Amino acid sequence: MSEQPIRGPKEPLTSPEPGEGPQPPNLDDGDERPIDLDDFPGDAPAEGGEGS
Quote the number of domains for the chain.
Answer: 1
- What residues make up the domain containing 52? 23-52
Identify whether 51 is part of a domain. yes
- Amino acid at site 15: S
Nearest Cα to Cα of residue 7 among 22, 17, 26: 22
CA 33 to chain CA centroid, Å, is 7
Identify whether 4 is part of a domain. no
Identify whether 47 is part of a domain. yes
Angle at CA of residue 41, ends 45 and 33, nearest 5°: 115
pLDDT in tens, 27-42: 555 555 566 656 555 6
pLDDT in tens, 9-30: 555 555 555 555 565 555 555 5
DSSP secondary structure letter of residue 24: -
Q: Please give the average per-residue pLDDT across 2-12, as a whole number.
A: 54
Identify whether 8 is part of a domain. no
Identify whether 30 is part of a domain. yes
